[in-house]
Structure 1
Amino acid sequence: MDFSDLSDEDLWLQMQDDLYDGMKEEVAAQTREALGRGFSPQEVLGLGLVAGMDIVGVDFRDGVLFVPEVLMAANAMKAGMEILRPLLVETGAARIGTMVIGTVKGDIHDIGKNLVAMMMEGAGFEVINLGINNDADKFLEAIKQHQPDIIGMSALLTTTMPYMKVVIDALGEEGLRDTVYVMVGGAPVTETFAKAVGADAYGRDAAVAVELAKAFMNKRRAA
């Protein structure tokens, strides 16, 4: 795979196209090509991967793409991220924020949550993914350790949804509630439920969750 004959501008467009189509090897090769041309890891992330995922997010929100295609795109982004991550750490590149995300206790569903995590990472967040079946202590521990800006909780069962309130109440008891922006999501979760349990935001889907998170970080920075 040789992309050396493409102009810089065409390289970014090709990377965005291939990411959109879920072509992992191509995206990894383009990431290496861009770094080889002297672009910083931050530029490759922003102009290539994040720009590509932005298009995916819009088309997902508008019903042009569906979960399987978005997962393929997110996996292609991951191939580029694997090359960039160590370099971004070295350069101390500014992330736009930090997020802890997990599925709540009693629930072992993680496709939607992983999709949100990958798209958040694609938008420039550092994401700590706790996986499935997390009790309140797991969330509290992660918040104390990583001091995130945002915490995301997911549930796919109506029986596990109420546990979100247990976590939010625990945050209050530990004096941590005001330090984090709490986002909830998952198939049975609604805007009304999110308000009732005291969450700050409800992410209807991964694309909306990313938009809400970015809006919150912009507001926080402006303040």
Structure 2
Amino acid sequence: MNEKITSIRNLLIKGRMNEINSLVKQCIDEKEDPQTILNEGLLAGMDDIAKKWAAGQAFIPEVLIGARCMNSAIDILEPYLVKSEDKSKCKVVFGTVKGDMHDIGKKLCTLMMKSKDIEVIDIGVDVDANTFADAVEQYQPDVVCMSSLLTTSMPYFETVLETLKERNLRDKVKVAIGGAPVTQAYCDQIGADLYTEDAVSLADALDQMYS
């Protein structure tokens, strides 16, 4: 593996944002594959942090600092990951549900979908059911994606689904859900159309559905 990519991975937990961004730029200048920088550097580094946190070897501030560094680096990488074809494969409205302010997972999913020529309208975090429904009416997407990283906010998926039904919009869109506490069984239970474990799987699934 490129030594710079290995350094990016190792520097995430230390919160060395400037060094990480500099290394990302150097890798791009050296024509390193942007997807490799993302997967083997940034995502692998965040996975390392998550495993250390789960094992009690890292703490929430380190997780948040690593995520902030990753987001900054992704801003640099995004123009090199997103393809420039005129026509998108499908259109997605994406939001984190009401009661949840988490943005990292949504941002990663958005980036991966854009890399597959999928148009994404990001409607933010802490999004209520009527705002989801309004976005469906306004943008007429093929898919509504909802995320939740909290068990306390996860039941709000059902509220959104009910609101879409009440406003006669449910049959017009596919609904995808995801997040740390979400499972395929829960997806089936509430009647959503798609669940995936991570950003790459979501992008791949939609790419296959709409190719």
Pick the TM interval, shorter chain: 0.5 to 0.7
Query: Which residue, out of 5, 19, 23, partners 1:12?
Result: 5
Q: State the match for 1:5 in structure 2.
A: none
Structure 1 position 194, deviation (Å): 3.6
Confirm or deny: 8 A CA contact 2:97 2:157 kept in the other structure. no
Pick aligned residue for 1:114 from 103, 126, 151? 103
- Residues 195 and 30 from structure 1, CA distance in 2 versus in 1: closer, same or farther, beyond 3 angstroms? same
Q: Structure 1 pair 96/116, CA: closer, same or farther in 2 (3 Å)?
A: farther
Moved over 6 A (4+): 93-97
TM-score (norm 1): 0.63
Q: Identify if the C-alpha distance between structure 1 residues 93 and 151 changes in structure 2 by more than 3 Å, giving closer, same or farther.
A: same
CA contact (8 A) 2:11 2:20 kept: yes
Deviation sequence 1:39-90 (CA, Å, 0-9, x none): 38xx33x1212332442465467x44447344333221212223344x4499
- Summarize the Cα distance change of 1:155–1:27 in structure 2 as closer, same or farther, 3 Å threshold: closer
Structure 2 residues not aligned, in runs of 5+: 115-119
In structure 2, the CA distance between the partners of 1:57 and 1:185, relative to structure 1 (3 Å rule), is: same
Q: CA deviation at 1:116?
A: 1.7
Q: If the length of structure 2 is used for normalisation, what is the TM-score?
A: 0.66
> Would the alpha carbon gap of residues 88 and 149 (structure 1) be closer, same or farther in structure 2, given more than 3 Å must change?
farther
Q: How does 1:95-174 map to 2 (within 5 A)?
A: 98=92, 100-104=94-98, 107=99, 109-110=100-101, 113-121=102-110, 123=112, 125=114, 128-132=122-126, 134-143=127-136, 144-145=138-139, 147=141, 149-154=143-148, 156=150, 158=152, 161-172=154-165, 173-174=167-168
Q: How many residues align?
A: 197
Q: 2:44 aligns with which of 55, 61, 74?
A: 55
Aligned partner letter, 1:152: M
Corresponding residue number in structure 2 for 1:36 = 29
Return the offset for 1:130: 1.4
* Partner-residue secondary structure (3-state), 2:131: helix
% identity of equivalent residues = 16
Partner Cα distance (1:79, 1:93) in 2: 25
1:74 to 60, 67, 70: 67
Q: Distance in 1 between matches of 2:26 and 2:148?
A: 37
Query: Is the contact between residue 109 and residue 203 of structure 2 (CA under 8 Å) also seen in structure 1?
Result: no
What residue in structure 1 maps to residue 117 of structure 2?
none
Residue segments in structure 1 that go unaligned for 5+ positions in a row: 1-7
Distance in 1 (CA, whole Å) between partners of 2:89 and 2:16 is 26
Any idea what SS the aligned residue of 1:170 has? helix
- Give the C-alpha shift of residue 28 in structure 1: 0.9
Summarize deviations over 1:107-134 as a string: whole Å, max 9, x none: 2x32xx32322443564655725111x2
